[in-house]
Structure 1
Amino acid sequence: MAQQTTLDEWARDPLVDPEVRAHVYSLVNALGGNGEDGTYTLGDDALLCLKDLRKWLKFADAELGRRDAARCMAEAKLLQGDLLPILAKMSEKLMTQKLKYKVALAVLELLVPLTWPYEIDPLEPTENQINHAPYIQLAQIGYKRAILHFDRAQILNTVVKIALPPMAIPLRERGPRDEAIIRIALYFIRNVVMLSPPSSVPVDIDEAEVSRSTTIDTLHDQEIFPALLTVASNIGEDYVVQDVVILEVLFYLLKGIDAEKLFLDEKKLSSRNTDELKALMQKEKAMLADSARHAPTRHNRFGTMVWVKRDDEKVSTLSGQDFLGKAQKTMEKMDKTKKWNKPKGRSRKKNDEFDRDEFDLEVPLTTSAHKHLKSFVEEFLDSSFNPLFMHLRKAIEREEERIEERHSRQYFYLVAWFLKAECARRRNLKEKAADPKSAEILTAEDESYGLVAEVLNQATFILLNRFMQKSQDEKAWQDLNAGMKCFTQILFTVQEMSESALEEDQEIAENIQNRIFYEEATHDRIVQMLRSYKDQGFGYLDACTELAHVFLRMLERYAKQNVDLQIRSKRRARKMEAKRQGADSAGADVSDREEVENAQRTSTERKFDFDRYAHKFVNQSSVNTFMAFLKLHNELDAEQLKRIHRFLYRAVFKMKLGILLFRVDYIQLLHKLIKGPEGLDAALPSFKEWDEFVRHFFRTVVKKVQERPILYVEMLFSKINSTMFYLENGFDMAPPVRTPRAPAELEVKGDMTRQEQIGVAVGVLVNQNKSDALRWVREVLSSAIEERKAWQSMEEARREVAAAERQVEESGEEAPAEEPPKPPSILVRPDNDERRTAMFKDNKLRLLMTLVGCSRLGEPNDPEATWLIGSSVTVPELTEALDLIRKFEFEPPIYEDGKSAQDFLRSKATAIRRTARRVDFDDDSDGVDNDTEEDRGEYAPDGPTARKSTAKKILKRRRRARTPEELDDEEKRRRAEARLKRELEKQRNIKSTVFVHSSDDEDWDEDRDKEFFAKEQALRADTLAQFKRSLALGSPEPASKKRKGNVQAGSEKKKRKTPPKRRKGLFDTDESEDEDQPLHSSSRGSSPEAAALDTESDGESTDTPMSSQPAAVVTNGNKTPASVADKDTVMADAQDGTDDDDEDAAPTVRRAPLRTRGGFVIDSDSE
């Protein structure tokens, strides 16, 4: 129902297009109006009018950005005068009549864009968007008031009824239209909860009518909370895309509400409200008392003006009488009257979205709203928290299209809010259970933290750390604020879990703390967030200081409980890779090798040092953050003041870093805090602690200033790391002395001769333009040759003189010849300091010196170690080395494939590690190996076998079966030595040799050879007798594969008592294990059963059992016991002796118990 105006008035309005206004007003008039009986009556084309109005909102406003249609609908009172009466008229018969359902749905589709929070395009704002903003924002507050207080019907309840039919359809059968209906119904509830009075526009209605308390009461009265719980508890099963809408509803419903107050009982809540009121009244009283000291009276009403003459001959004028009598008062008055037009920097522009998402402003609740919200939160925690937040976390991780930038911030804020609420609820339950007058009893479910388990897992921690790091990098301070609140509340929850009565919760808390404190990146992030405060606002300041305080105290406690705490640190390592470019097809020259630096993240574990981290934590930037927080002491509560006090006490007295507070403004702030004016209230519980801290701090300041007067100047500035140590101790910090480290020792690759190795070393030095080093080596060798020759000449002369003086004894026997003395070692002296340094650091020069005969005495990392030319190096060797250096210096060697001398060098340590690398055993292994250095002569074991040996696995398996208990190291070593000794003894008994020798080269032992030939003669005789016996019995059949399988299968069964077997002959094979039986018999033919089976297999098979006990078969004069009939038997099918087609058939092996009749064994074929 539109308000009638003239066309002239429409034309004169410069803000709205007259054509748009005419169309909108005509549609509103055609929609309907009040009839004669006072009830609302729909027009004939009401449904079409609703659809046309929605089109105007969609195309004229959303696409063109004009917002003219929304302005016209607000002026025409469309929502209050038409849409709400239509919903009220349709609500009664909504579920029965299809036409009324369509009309109600069309009204809902129009209500959602009308109540959608007004936003100005941040990238391309239009003039109409800016001009219409105040009017439309005020109109939306009127919309909210009309919806909440509509008396003829429950609007929100009617909207839920519209969404009920689609909600009743299963998820798999639900279509896109059904999903859209559910979504717009939830969005309408979100819009109603989200709308709030704009801060930039004065509101002409009572704000209590659209307050949070009124909204909560309306949601409860119209039964919206059960609908929200239904959707939230079934997220992931019946609802998928509705999770972000529920998230926004919860965020705008709960932001700014104190979760701890929510779960206080009435008495404690009333007491807390009373204490807060008393504190406010006390602050007001202190302010009045302070102003009363300077309030005008009857005697000082007359004007007073004073001129103050300053040092620079300038005059300042002061008026009033409040500064008379005291110079300090005069200066304070001058400071108050000073004006400084501070240049305005680039400040962040706070838009309406920022105001809507602001969650640091506390929102008060009425008693009824407090009660209703508490009931809703309890039910939500019990039924909906885990499924909803698990589904949201996965959606954020996958970066679903429906997830916007603000949703991550809202998610982490709500995680913090609900964790705080759950902890408050548990404390309330414990207090009630501890009260003897209360009937409350704690159950296991109440003790467990399973209701919030989905936000205390590793996936949530990873997502939170990633979100905080991203927010910090992008300087999204509001997002980082939400992340810090979430992390702080997780720490509080874990702390309470560690104090739980359930061991499972304690173990979970221990695991969570270990994961949180294990990452050094988390430690560094906390410090960086504290340092990065500048002017992000009170909420950010409170969040970062609280997180730092809680994290540091919990980390200190955990480090004391876990002395060997290990943390993982990630550092950037530089890996040098050499790449070679191949020659092209045209035969181009090979390019030089290039060194490429690849930066990679390496993770290392190290022991955590809390003192070291605390020094990193306490620095000038973090002190500045806490002092900025202290400047707001009049607005802080007792817990926040205690937080600042603990940090400053740690910095000044525990860590002896009070020099960080030696700044004029900080000293003045601490003095003002106690002595005033506008200091702390002396009635506060923490005033005594602050008073004591300030007194001890000023004593420290006076003492330090007397020791070092330079602090008078340094108090004007912040302290830097380079001067802090001097200001604290009075002397500069001694630079750390690093122990020099010798370079890696080099060697020449391949099997090169000494001359070739010297050529490589000389070539490397020549390529590096170190001709001066080669000259020095030549001089050293030349000097050594001359000195060694001089010594040899002197020694030869001495021997001649000694021989001439020596006399032969009278007996005629000559005296024993003396051993010639060794030449003395020659000391290698560097010619300058640079050469001395090169002898320690240049590994190429050291390689050449080693190759020419020099040796180094001393520790590997001793720069003053001595180089000598040993006594064993002869003059020819030195001369040869000198000649090779002279040769290769001017004619460097040339190598194949374009290689340089550098390519033939390698690190000696790397080569040793490669050759000495062995396979590590597992925990069950005791390190037994056969890589001993003992010489086993010709009977050493042969080379590698064709297949991999399984002896080690069998040995482990037997060892584990034999010793299931844990063995100490001494026992393992003893057993390993015993096994090794047995292995060596067994290998010494091997009677075959690996090598073939020429008979002329061997030393014959007659006794040993006699014994050997005797054994060989007996072996040949045995073989010949066996051959003759086989000829007498008939031609032996060739052992088939089937018989081989039977033999092998039979050998794996249980051991039987068999006649003694003779040693195998020269032509024996593994398949024939009993050579005293005919070749066609089984390997177990020594038993009566096997003999009977083999006899049957040669002829026709029969099902008739044997009627008499068979005689025992005698083999080699030994009788087989009859008890073998109880043992396993190889079952062979009867077959014709001439049939060769079944040779490849697999043998049939059974371990089934045998059936007997009258003491006889029955073949399986007869069953």
Structure 2
Amino acid sequence: MDEEVVAVGHDVQVVDPDVRNYVYGLVTALGGFNGEDADRYVLGDDALACLRDIKRWLKLYDEKNNRMDVARCLGEANVVSGDLLPILTLWWGTGQKSKHMTRIALACLELLVPLTWPLEIHSQMTVNHHRHTPYLLQAQVQHKRGILKAGGSNLLRAAVRIALPSMAVPRSERESRDEGILKLMLYFLRNVAIISPNSRLAAEGDEEETSRSSTINAFHQQDALALILTMCSNVGDDFNLQDIVLLEILFHLVKGVDVEKLFKDEEQAGTDYASDLASILNKEKMARREYQKTAPTRHSRFGTMIWVKRDNGKMSTVSGQRSLRDDQQTFEKMDQSKKWNKPKPRRKQQDSTQNNNFNMPVHLNREATEHLRTFVEEFLDSGFNPLFTHVRKAIEREAERVLDINTRQFFYTVGWFLEAERVRRARQTRRRTAQNSGKAKNIEPDSYGLVAGVLNQETFITLNRSMQSSLDNKEWEDLNAQMRCFTQILLTVQEMAVSPLEDDQEIAENIQNRIFYEETTHDRILAIVRGYKDQSFGYLDSCTELAHVFLRMLERYSKDNADMQIRSRRKAKRKQKKADNAEAEGAPNDEQDSEAEEMEDAAQVTKERNFDFKRFAAKFCNQACVDTFIAFTGYYKELNSEQLKRAHRYFYRIAFKQEMTVLLFRMDIIALFNRMIKGPEPMDSTKSVYKEWEELVRQIIRRLIKKLDQRPALITELLFSKINSTVYYLEYGHEKQTISASKRPPAEVVITSTEATTRESQLRIVVGALVLDGRADLVKWIKDVLDSAADEREVWEIQEETRLLEDPEITTIPNPMITVKSKDDFVQNAMFSNATLRLFMKIAGFERLGVEDVLGAAWIVPSSLKSEDLRNTLAEIKKSLETPFPSDGDDDPRKQLQKKDRGSGRGEALQGTLDVNFGSESEGEDVPEGPLFPANPRSKASALDELKKKRKKKTKPSAERDPLDEGTLEARREARLANSLSRQAKIKSDLFIHASDEESDAEADKEFFRLEEERRKKQAAEVKKALLTGPGHSEKTKGKGKKAAARKRVSDTGAGTDSKRQRRGSASSDVQSDADGDILMADDAGSSHSPGGIDELLGLGEDDDDLAFDDDLAFSRDRPSKPEVSDQASDPEEDAPVASTRRRMRGGFVIESDSE
């Protein structure tokens, strides 16, 4: 009914008359003031029932129908100031012991909470809401004035008294009714703290009666602050569900309060007030002076139009008397006419958050400042950690009582109290220093444990997650609160790092390491600064302060930690590479993806790298960041010294530290800097940073003039923002040279089908894979190339035959190579990137020129391919295209192609040198495939004779040698091969395998171990003797030992046979019982030792131990023959000892690679 359009001049029915009459009747029956005693309120006969009926009307009519009619009627009836508050005053004075009066007082409190509930303007409001909200806002201000009015009112204390019995009950014994009473009391205090005069509505009465100062004073006088402090200190123990309400009360008490002013002493506050007043008067004086320069005259009501003649002779018309004042006003008038007002896009309607706006500063009187400072100090000492730790846990688990607005309140309140703690410490330090006559060393430092509840890893995780979420969802006010909190955490950690306490320093070092370790934090700060557009000034102030503090602390920390590491999170490119490889192979195989590969991909997303601060600071040198700080500097007349210093430091870093002054060479930026110093409306010259700004602007303009001489193109670029290429050109005078990285060729693919043994079958598989991949055009191109090459090769062959027929003795010319030419860029790229096409070209006989496999490499048809070969290949391709290709199942040609393992070649090489094929272990295999052991070493005599023959052949003149024909060479080659095979067979059948290997001889084993024990004792004695006699003895016996060893080697060939057989027999039994791969001594020369190497280093002579592993002929392959000592005695080079090489062993046998 009330939403219908009503004609002008007719009355609008605001509320349904029936509803109004019924509500007014309930208010009248509730009670009133007695005529005999006008100051005494008298309850009605059924006042409790009336209160419950009013509550029922509010719930069932207003809330159910989403209207405000009943609340409007109660406001018009003045039920709060005229009935509810007098009833509570009556209960406080006389009826506290009466249960009936206590019930009535509780019913009044139940009505006060919804009637004082804060109202917000939001997008879901109806016409009924818009009609009643302005009146209800004014009514709530009147309600608050009645609650806080002077004259000994104890209404807040009465509300607290109602909830005291429920507070006294232990938490484990409380019922839902007790929890509800506590909630009512706290919500009532919160509503009183929230209500404030609306700036868009006309004020009624004295605004000071409902100001923040009056609220804080009333809370202090009526013990509400003491109650809040008590409950905050016991959150989690006695009060579990009241944490969010307590947070809201604190938020609305401290929002907008300047912490610096809160903790100033009285003398300092008085001085600041005087200086502020002087500053305001000075501003007013300057404004009047500027106004008097161009003040209007008594003839100013006449119209004016003037012509301005420009340099090119054209005339411009300017209207208005402002253009007559001076040239500057005339030019400004012209500029305003030329200015393009860019149309702003229609912004999405956002809900108003007037009650939660913390950007508006609040002024407190001296009494309220003292009360709030006392409460804040006590809260920091006892209630900070319990409350905020409990609230953070509730936010993390997303408890039902937590709303979206509470997250914003949490971060802002945490930041505010952290700043209060820092300022309080500074104030305490000043006061203690003054009391100790300036001796700060006598002051006992305090720990930062009072605020440690928000300096842990859990809080940092919650803060980072919330900042990223707010940034992604463009929730700027939430992000503003989170930036303030993060900034205060950084400043607190900075002070902890210079604390005299070592524990605080270690904690600060740990916190900085955690914060600066994540590169995502660095990127988030950069994104916030670069992403500023048209947010509020509070948001702009917060983001610039955060960037300023973060950069300074990170720079200092990186200097102190030269090897600083950060964790970089980047998207893994492995999946993209897999997709490319699968495309090259013809068909992806999804079954190959496993959990291990996914874990490997995830591990590659995060990696550590060294941190370079210069590289990070350079990220702030872009036009977006400059625009953000320029927008902040545009408020220079309202900024204080700290804020101006913040902007000055950024521009100084840009211009001089990073040498990117070009970014500041823009017309509006230069005009702003010039206006700040020269005017009109310049910066206040009494500020401490004025001299620094003046010098900065002077240097920037000086560099601009110098750069204009060097780069005349800068005159045009002054009108525009600078991109990276423009900045580089203006800085260095030439374009930036970029070198494109060469692309890697795709992995080689091979045919996995075992049936594809012929070239025809291979061609069918490759052609089918290309056709099924939609690359039939590439197959057609290959056909055209083959056809053209065959024709060209056939013509050449005919010409060559004709030429030979004409002159048979003429030398033949090899076939010329034919270059494979791509028809377009697509085919040229496919020749490099399509692995299937490359395999196709190889099978067709094409070859790639050059060693480097790069894009654009030349492919040719080699001269070895005749025209007939090319015709056959073309015919096979055409034959493959005649039959259809299966596109599913195992016969799919794409599934028969597989990427070649890059490490296969290396693996085969290692297999040939490290792995020994011991044959099959199956029974009955007498002749395995190939030799089991190295080639049979030749005897010493034969090796020496062969060496002498080689030397004789070298001395024979080449002219005396008869040329050998091909048959003789082939016969010798076959003889050498047969000799080698026979030697290998002997190794297998005679040298290492005997019938006695499978027998067990106890007497032989006993004799073997006895000889071994004697050799060990003898060797130990010789070592001891060598150590006692020293190196001189070794030098004397060196030559003698060499000759003796040579003689011993010849004489021991026959004597070592018995011991050899004994060792072989015992070793075979040992191998069966021991699996650790011991080396077996099974050679007739096993008892001989090398004259050089380890033996001579130990100083051993001719009586040395016979067991020398390094000279065992059974363990050497192609061992070089050693000449006799008598033949080499004249060679002085043979006197030097040669250390024997230690051979690699595997499975009990020596394996020597070809390189050795």
Per the normalisation by structure 1, the TM-score is 0.69
Deviations 1:182-216 (A, max 9, x none): 10110110111111011111212111111111111
CA distance in 2, matches of 1:1008, 1:130: 108
Query: Does the residue aligned with 1:198 lie in a helix, a strand or coil?
Result: coil
Question: 1:910: how far off?
Answer: 5.5
**Counterpart position of 1:98:** 99
CA distance in 1, matches of 2:104, 2:146: 20
Indicate the larger mover: 1011-1020 or 184-193. 1011-1020
Question: 1:105: how far off?
Answer: 0.6
CA distance in 2, matches of 1:761, 1:336: 72
Question: 1:153: how far off?
Answer: 4.2
**Counterpart position of 2:938:** none
CA distance in 1, matches of 2:1002, 2:571: 77
Distance 1:788 1:509, change over 3 A: farther
**Counterpart position of 1:480:** 479
Distance 1:676 1:119, change over 3 A: closer
CA distance in 1, matches of 2:210, 2:686: 39
**Counterpart position of 2:321:** 319
**Counterpart position of 1:1049:** none
Work out whether residues 786 and 870 of structure 2, in 8 Å CA contact, stay in contact via their aligned partners in 1: no
Work out whether residues 432 and 438 of structure 1, in 8 Å CA contact, stay in contact via their aligned partners in 2: no
Distance 1:288 1:859, change over 3 A: farther
Match for residue 880 of structure 2 among 891, 898, 914: 891
Distance 1:357 1:576, change over 3 A: same
Question: 1:1014: how far off?
Answer: 7.1
Are 1:259 and 2:259 matched, yes or no?
yes
Are 1:284 and 2:276 matched, yes or no?
no
Are 1:674 and 2:682 matched, yes or no?
no
CA distance in 2, matches of 1:1003, 1:61: 106
**Counterpart position of 1:308:** 306
Question: Which amino acid is the alignment partner of residue 479 of structure 1?
Answer: D
Are 1:382 and 2:381 matched, yes or no?
yes
**Counterpart position of 1:686:** 689
Query: Does the residue aligned with 1:355 lie in a helix, a strand or coil?
Result: coil
Question: 1:327: how far off?
Answer: 3.2
CA distance in 1, matches of 2:418, 2:719: 45
Question: 1:411: how far off?
Answer: 1.2
Are 1:645 and 2:637 matched, yes or no?
no
Query: Does the residue aligned with 2:467 lie in a helix, a strand or coil?
Result: helix
**Counterpart position of 1:603:** 605
Question: 1:745: how far off?
Answer: 1.9
Question: Which amino acid is the alignment partner of residue 906 of structure 1?
Answer: Q
**Counterpart position of 1:370:** 369
CA distance in 2, matches of 1:1065, 1:890: 63
Question: 1:565: how far off?
Answer: 3.0
Are 1:189 and 2:192 matched, yes or no?
no
**Counterpart position of 2:527:** 528
Deviations 1:477-508 (A, max 9, x none): 22222122122222222222322333443343
Deviations 1:417-468 (A, max 9, x none): 1111122222333344444627999999964333223322333233323323
Match for residue 773 of structure 1 among 758, 761, 782: 782
Deviations 1:66-122 (A, max 9, x none): 433333333333222322222122125655332221111111111112222234563
Question: 1:612: how far off?
Answer: 4.0
Distance 1:593 1:565, change over 3 A: closer
Question: 1:410: how far off?
Answer: 1.0
Where does the alignment leave 5 or more consecutive residues of structure 2 unmatched? 1-9, 581-585, 924-984, 1007-1064, 1074-1156
Question: Which amino acid is the alignment partner of residue 71 of structure 2?
Answer: A
Q: CA RMSD in A?
A: 5.0
Question: 1:341: how far off?
Answer: 9.5
Question: Which amino acid is the alignment partner of residue 46 of structure 1?
Answer: A
CA distance in 1, matches of 2:999, 2:412: 97
Question: 1:935: how far off?
Answer: 6.0
Question: 1:253: how far off?
Answer: 0.5
Query: Does the residue aligned with 1:308 lie in a helix, a strand or coil?
Result: strand
**Counterpart position of 1:456:** 455
Deviations 1:205-259 (A, max 9, x none): 1111111111111111111122112222222332232222111111110100112
Distance 1:118 1:897, change over 3 A: closer
**Counterpart position of 2:239:** 239
Distance 1:775 1:911, change over 3 A: farther
Work out whether residues 389 and 454 of structure 2, in 8 Å CA contact, stay in contact via their aligned partners in 1: yes
CA distance in 2, matches of 1:1010, 1:539: 98
Query: Does the residue aligned with 2:306 lie in a helix, a strand or coil?
Result: strand
Question: Which amino acid is the alignment partner of residue 356 of structure 2?
Answer: D
CA distance in 2, matches of 1:594, 1:1019: 63
Distance 1:869 1:830, change over 3 A: closer
Where does the alignment leave 5 or more consecutive residues of structure 1 unmatched? 1-10, 580-590, 802-822, 918-929, 944-999, 1022-1061, 1071-1167
Question: Which amino acid is the alignment partner of residue 419 of structure 2?
Answer: K
**Counterpart position of 1:204:** 204
Distance 1:781 1:553, change over 3 A: farther
Report 1:577-592 matches (<5 A): none
CA distance in 2, matches of 1:869, 1:342: 65
Are 1:625 and 2:634 matched, yes or no?
no
Indicate the larger mover: 898-907 or 367-376. 898-907
CA distance in 2, matches of 1:785, 1:329: 90
CA distance in 2, matches of 1:869, 1:833: 16
Deviations 1:531-550 (A, max 9, x none): 33333222122112212222
Query: Does the residue aligned with 1:452 lie in a helix, a strand or coil?
Result: helix
Question: Which amino acid is the alignment partner of residue 626 of structure 2?
Answer: V
Question: Which amino acid is the alignment partner of residue 124 of structure 2?
Answer: L
CA distance in 2, matches of 1:836, 1:52: 88
Question: 1:147: how far off?
Answer: 1.1
CA distance in 2, matches of 1:348, 1:32: 49
CA distance in 1, matches of 2:470, 2:630: 24
Question: 1:937: how far off?
Answer: 6.4
Are 1:143 and 2:143 matched, yes or no?
yes
Distance 1:852 1:116, change over 3 A: closer
**Counterpart position of 2:464:** 465
Work out whether residues 318 and 333 of structure 2, in 8 Å CA contact, stay in contact via their aligned partners in 1: no
Work out whether residues 765 and 893 of structure 2, in 8 Å CA contact, stay in contact via their aligned partners in 1: yes
Question: 1:406: how far off?
Answer: 1.3
Work out whether residues 412 and 486 of structure 1, in 8 Å CA contact, stay in contact via their aligned partners in 2: yes
Question: 1:361: how far off?
Answer: 1.4
CA distance in 1, matches of 2:442, 2:908: 62
Distance 1:21 1:149, change over 3 A: same
CA distance in 2, matches of 1:67, 1:59: 11
CA distance in 1, matches of 2:12, 2:210: 31
Are 1:225 and 2:225 matched, yes or no?
yes
Question: Which amino acid is the alignment partner of residue 839 of structure 2?
Answer: L
Query: Does the residue aligned with 2:567 lie in a helix, a strand or coil?
Result: strand
Distance 1:317 1:782, change over 3 A: closer
CA distance in 2, matches of 1:1007, 1:593: 52
Are 1:903 and 2:901 matched, yes or no?
no
Work out whether residues 746 and 908 of structure 1, in 8 Å CA contact, stay in contact via their aligned partners in 2: yes
Are 1:844 and 2:846 matched, yes or no?
no
Distance 1:442 1:167, change over 3 A: farther
State the percentage of identical aligned residues.
42
CA distance in 2, matches of 1:1014, 1:536: 96
Deviations 1:1011-1058 (A, max 9, x none): 55874697999xxxxxxxxxxxxxxxxxxxxxxxxxxxxxxxxxxxxx
Work out whether residues 257 and 362 of structure 2, in 8 Å CA contact, stay in contact via their aligned partners in 1: yes
Report 1:814-963 matches (<5 A): 829-831=819-821, 840-848=832-840, 850=842, 859-863=851-855, 883=872, 886-887=875-876, 889-891=878-880, 897-909=889-901, 912=904, 933-934=913-914, 938=918
Question: 1:378: how far off?
Answer: 1.8
Work out whether residues 436 and 442 of structure 2, in 8 Å CA contact, stay in contact via their aligned partners in 1: no
Question: 1:628: how far off?
Answer: 1.8
CA distance in 2, matches of 1:517, 1:66: 52
Per the normalisation by structure 2, the TM-score is 0.69
Query: Does the residue aligned with 1:747 lie in a helix, a strand or coil?
Result: strand
Report 1:410-449 matches (<5 A): 410-435=409-434, 437=436, 447-449=446-448
Distance 1:911 1:689, change over 3 A: same
Question: Which amino acid is the alignment partner of residue 308 of structure 1?
Answer: I
CA distance in 2, matches of 1:1007, 1:534: 87
Question: Which amino acid is the alignment partner of residue 891 of structure 2?
Answer: K
CA distance in 1, matches of 2:815, 2:447: 81
**Counterpart position of 2:70:** 69
Deviations 1:37-82 (A, max 9, x none): 4422222212112212222333343333443333333333322232
Question: 1:150: how far off?
Answer: 5.2
Work out whether residues 521 and 570 of structure 1, in 8 Å CA contact, stay in contact via their aligned partners in 2: no
Match for residue 722 of structure 2 among 685, 705, 719: 719
